[in-house]
Structure 1
Amino acid sequence: MISFYEAFLAELAIHRIGNKSQDEFYVLSDQSLHIQDNLLKNLLLQYFLSPYQKVNEIYRFTHPNDDLNLNEVYHFAAAIFEDGSKFHEHSQQLAKYLYEVSGHPKIKSGELYVAYFENVQIEGELLDAIGIFKSETKETYLKVYPEQDGFNLSYEEDAINITKLDKGCLIFNTDKEEGFKVAVIDQTNRSAEAVYWKDEFLKLKVRNDNYNQTNNVLGVYKSFVTEKLDEEFEMTKADKIDLLNKSMKYFKEKESFDLDEFANEVIANEDGIESFKNFKKSYEEEFDTAIPDSFDINTAAVKKQARVFKSIIKLDRNFHIYIHGDKELIEKGFDEDKSMNYYKVYFKEEA
C-alpha cells in the first residue's frame, strides 16, 4: 500500500527528547539538514520508510472536541504543508509538544526526527509526506578493520540499527479536511505507557473507509465463528470451517456487502444470524467503531484476511485435513473399539 521507490528526502530536523518525569529536558537543533550524501540519504530512506511497506491500517487525526485545529500534530503538519520555509520552526514545536506528553516514567528518551519527503506512494498516489520518528533503542556494534598483516576489532556504543524503527508516523498531504492520511509504527512499548505515541501525541482514529469496513467485518465474523458459536451452538470444526469458507467466497464474489444478504447466504440460520448481529453490535460498542450494514468491498482487505482464515483440521500430530469445498463430503464419528474419533472423507479421484 505504501512504497518509497520514487521518494526523495528533502529536509530533516533532529532534536532530542528527554523524559519529563525524570527531570530530563529536550534539546532543539538550531537548523535543519539537507542531506547531500546519496548513500546516507538512501540509508535514511530505508530506516524511516521501509517499515511502512507492511502497514495496511491508515488513520486520521482527530480531537475530542471535533476541532482538528486543536490537534497539535495536525496543526503543525498542516502549517508545514502550507509553507515549507517554516519547516524547522514547526519541527521544534512538535519536539516541545512530544516532550510535554512524555510524562510516563517508563518512556525512554531519544532522538526525534522530523522529515519532509516528496513522492511517497500511498494507494497508488504519489504525495508529499511529513515523517515524525523517534529512536529509543540503542545498540552496540562491532567493527572489523584490516591492520598490518591481519585484522583488528573496535566497537561503537549507542548506535542505531537502521532495520529497527522504534516509533514513527507518516502524514500524507491529502484529505486535509478529514484529518490527512496517517500511517503509524510503534515497535517498542506495548504496555500501558505505549499509548502516549498514538493516543496522546498523535491523537488518531482508524480511517473508516471501505478497506477498514471490509477488514473489520471479516475480522468480527472470524471471531464470531471461532470464539462465540461454541457458547450457543454445537458446532464441529468442519462446520466452522465451512462457515468461514462461505464468508470468504461471498467477499471474493460480491462487489458490495449487505448485512442481511450476507447473513442469509452465509449463516442461513435465524438464531445464528441474530447472534452474529448482536456480536457485531457489541464489537462496535466496545471499540467505538461503527461498521455500516452496507459498503463497497475492498479487495485488498479481502486478500489480507484470506491469509488468516484457516481451513485446516489438525488431528493430533498425524494428519491435517484441508477443507475447501462441500463439508457434506466429510463425516465425523467415534470408533468404540479403538476409543478414538475419526473423519470419513468422500472423493471421486485422487490427485
Structure 2
Amino acid sequence: MITFFEASLAELSIHRIGNKLQDEFYVLSEQSMYIQDEMLKQLLLQYFLSPYEKVNEIYHFMHPNDDLNLNEVYHFASEIFANGDLFHENSKKLATYLYDISNHPKIKSGELYVAYFENVQIEGDLHDAIGIFKSETKESYIKVYPEQSGFALSYEQEAINISKLDKGCLIFNTDKEQGFKVAVIDQTNRSAEAVYWKDEFLRLKVRNDNYSQTQNVLGVYKNFITEKLDEEFEVTKTDKIDLLNRSMKYFKEKESFDIDEFANEVIANQEGIDLFKSYKKSYEEEFDTPIADTFDISDAAVKKQAKAFKSILKLDKNFHIYIHGNKELIEKGFDDDRSMNYYKVYFREEQ
C-alpha cells in the first residue's frame, strides 16, 4: 500500500518529449524547479501521487542480461539517489532516453515530469522516491468568475486534468540490489503502442514473490474481517478479534499457505469461506493483483503485517482489553441497573 500524507515534493524537472517517428523533437529545461507555492505543491502531490493509493502490484527493474546497470532508468535513478546534485542532469538523460525509444507512430507527445519526493510510504515504511510522469491528454476547461453585477466566462485550452494521470512510475529508494521497488500507472495500457512505457522504457518484472503474496492475502483477509463480514453476518468485536488472531496464528505456525486449509482452519464456516473466496476474487479483479492459492509464507511479511492486526477491545475511554487467546474466556453482558454493557473475563492467575 502506498500513501503520501507525509510526503513532500523536493525538486521537479519538466521536459517535453515528441514522437521521433513523426519528426517531432524533445525540449529539455535548463534547470529544475523548487516549488514555493504551497497550494501548487499540494495540487502536484495530488496529481502525481494520489493514483497510487489503489496500486498494489509492485515491480522491480530488470534486464534480459541480468545486469541491472544495463537498465537505463535503474542506472539514472541510482545516480540520483546516490547524489542529489545530479537530479536535473539525470532527468535530462531520462527524457532523451524516453524520446529514443518512442518509436511507435501512435505514441503521443507530451510533457515529462521527473520529481523527487521525500517520505512517501510504501508497505508501512517511509522512503524517498523518484517519480517519472508523462502527460499526454489535454483538456479544455470553462472558468466562471464574478464580474460587475453578475458572472463572466472564460476558457483554458490544452490544460491538464489533475485527476487523470496518463503515465507514471514511482521508484522507491529501497531494495536497490533487487532492482528497487517500483509502482506503475499506465492509463493507456490497452493500446498496442502503450507497451513502450512499462516494457521498453522501464523494463520491469512483477515482484510476485512470497513476500508480496503473503502480504496481499493477509491484507485481503484483514479487510474482509473488518469491513465485509458485517454486511452478511452479525459478528461481535470479540469474534472479529478472534478471527484475526487465528489467521495470524496460522501464518506464524505454517511454512506454506493453502487457501482451502486456511479457510477451513481459520474461518471454519462454509458461508464465511465462500464469502471470503468471493471477496478475494473481487479484490484480484479490482486491483489487477492475482493472489496464488498456495505459496510459501514469508516470515518478514508476517512480522510486518502483524503490526496492523489489532487484538485490542477498546471500551469507552476507561479500558483496553487485549485478547490474545481463547475468546471463550470473555463474556459480554448488559447490566440493567446501570444501563451499561459489561465484559466478564475469566483467568487463573495474575501476572
| TM-score (normalizing by structure 2) | 0.65
- Whether 2:203 is the aligned partner of 1:203: answer yes
Segments of structure 1 that go 5 or more residues without pairing to the other structure are 219-249, 268-288, 303-351
Give the Cα separation in 2 of the matches to 1:145 and 1:175. Answer: 50
Q: How does 1:162-311 map to 2 (within 5 A)?
A: 162-214=162-214, 254-255=250-251, 256=254, 258=256, 294-296=296-298
Q: How does 1:1-351 map to 2 (within 5 A)?
A: 1-214=1-214, 254-255=250-251, 256=254, 258=256, 294-296=296-298
Give the Cα separation in 2 of the matches to 1:126 and 1:47. Answer: 20
**CA apart distance, 1:252:** 7.5
| Aligned residues between the structures | 251
Give the Cα separation in 1 of the matches to 2:29 and 2:212. Answer: 39
Structure 2 residue identity aligned to 1:254: Y
Give the Cα separation in 1 of the matches to 2:262 and 2:196. Answer: 43
Give the Cα separation in 2 of the matches to 1:3 and 1:66. Answer: 31
**CA apart distance, 1:197:** 0.5
**CA apart distance, 1:291:** 9.8
CA contact (8 A) 2:32 2:88 kept: yes
2:137 aligns to what SS in structure 1?
A: coil
Give the Cα separation in 2 of the matches to 1:6 and 1:200. Answer: 32
Deviations 1:83-104 (A, max 9, x none): 1111111000000000111111
Structure 2 residue identity aligned to 1:295: I
CA contact (8 A) 1:217 1:291 kept: no
**CA apart distance, 1:44:** 0.4
CA contact (8 A) 1:251 1:257 kept: no
Give the Cα separation in 1 of the matches to 2:58 and 2:168. Answer: 13
Give the Cα separation in 1 of the matches to 2:207 and 2:293. Answer: 12
Give the Cα separation in 2 of the matches to 1:265 and 1:34. Answer: 51
Deviations 1:205-264 (A, max 9, x none): 11133354348999xxxxxxxxxxxxxxxxxxxxxxxxxxxxxxx9777314637x7678
Give the Cα separation in 1 of the matches to 2:163 and 2:22. Answer: 29
Give the Cα separation in 2 of the matches to 1:42 and 1:264. Answer: 47
Give the Cα separation in 1 of the matches to 2:152 and 2:33. Answer: 34
Give the Cα separation in 1 of the matches to 2:9 and 2:138. Answer: 23
CA contact (8 A) 2:144 2:151 kept: yes
Deviations 1:249-287 (A, max 9, x none): x9777314637x7678889xxxxxxxxxxxxxxxxxxxx
When residues 202 and 292 of structure 1 are mapped into structure 2, their CA distance, relative to the original with a 3 A threshold, is farther
When residues 55 and 146 of structure 1 are mapped into structure 2, their CA distance, relative to the original with a 3 A threshold, is same
Give the Cα separation in 1 of the matches to 2:176 and 2:67. Answer: 13
Deviations 1:109-135 (A, max 9, x none): 100000001111111111110000000
CA contact (8 A) 2:213 2:295 kept: no
1:27 aligns to what SS in structure 2?
A: coil
**CA apart distance, 1:106:** 1.2
Give the Cα separation in 2 of the matches to 1:293 and 1:165. Answer: 34
Segments of structure 2 that go 5 or more residues without pairing to the other structure are 219-245, 265-290, 306-351
Give the Cα separation in 1 of the matches to 2:66 and 2:217. Answer: 26
Give the Cα separation in 2 of the matches to 1:52 and 1:205. Answer: 18
Structure 1 residue identity aligned to 2:213: Q
Give the Cα separation in 2 of the matches to 1:19 and 1:202. Answer: 18
Structure 2 residue identity aligned to 1:139: E
Structure 1 residue identity aligned to 2:34: H
Structure 1 stretch displaced more, 83-92 or 204-213: 204-213
- In the other structure, the counterpart of 1:233 is none
When residues 104 and 216 of structure 1 are mapped into structure 2, their CA distance, relative to the original with a 3 A threshold, is farther
Give the Cα separation in 1 of the matches to 2:292 and 2:143. Answer: 53
Report the identity percentage. Answer: 72
When residues 264 and 127 of structure 1 are mapped into structure 2, their CA distance, relative to the original with a 3 A threshold, is closer
Deviations 1:134-167 (A, max 9, x none): 0001000001111221111110000000011111
CA contact (8 A) 2:26 2:96 kept: yes
| TM-score (normalizing by structure 1) | 0.65
Structure 1 residue identity aligned to 2:197: W
Deviations 1:160-215 (A, max 9, x none): 00011111000011111110111110112412111100110000011133354348
